[in-house]
Amino acid sequence: MRLTTKGRFAVTAMMDLAMRGEEGPVALASISERQKISLSYLEQLFGKLRRHKLVDSVRGPGGGYCIARPFDQVAVADIIRAVDEQLDATQCGGRENCHDEHRCMTHDLWSTLNAKMFDYLASVTLAELVGREKAKRDVGAIVLEDKRLGPQPRARSGRDKVPAVV
């Protein structure tokens, strides 16, 4: 499978943007800093994302990028396709010439895998990814708060009962 850094970085940057875009446009420099992705690389990716109408740019002070449509209408496959990423597990790139210029015996297997990967990525939306990430962070915040409060009394189970003295 050839899902490279380009596709991974594009999805990561879009998640970052979606999670912070409620307050207004997000600067690529801040995404770059948080996600440790080169600013010039993000500029290239966001140019492609903008051409595919996945993001809108806002110029001027306080400018940056916003997601162009509702999060539940942006699939991971849309993001990957926008940055020209190929999802291909075949050795021949789908040309059926990987075995001495002929189709290999396992071509159908890898082609089917390509279709399944694409179907899966098309079924996962930015809204779902952001929801999962926020849920993880909420659980982490609860755990952190519990640690700040110190040890909590534990619930007693039936096995903890002391036998009555007769």
For 29-48, the pLDDT digits (tens) are 999 999 999 999 999 999 99
Tell me, rounded to whole angstroms, the distance of Cα 92 from its chain centroid: 28
pLDDT score for 47: 96
Closest by alpha carbon to 3, among 129, 103, 111, 88? Answer: 88
> Mean of the pLDDT values across residues 11-36?
94
Report the alpha-carbon distance of residue 27 to residue 4 in Å, rounded. 24
CA torsion angle for 92, 94, 95, 101 (degrees, to 10)?
40
For 121-166, the pLDDT digits (tens) are 999 999 999 999 888 877 766 665 666 665 555 555 555 555 555 5
pLDDT score for 98: 67
pLDDT score for 76: 95
In the chain the domains, ranked by start, together with CATH numbers, are: 5-89+125-149 (1.10.10.10)
For 59-84, the pLDDT digits (tens) are 988 899 999 999 999 999 999 999 97
**Among the listed ranges 49-58, 68-77, 109-118, which one has the minimum average pLDDT value?**
109-118
The contacts of residue 157 (CB under 8 Å, 6+ apart) are none
What's the DSSP call for residue 25? Answer: -
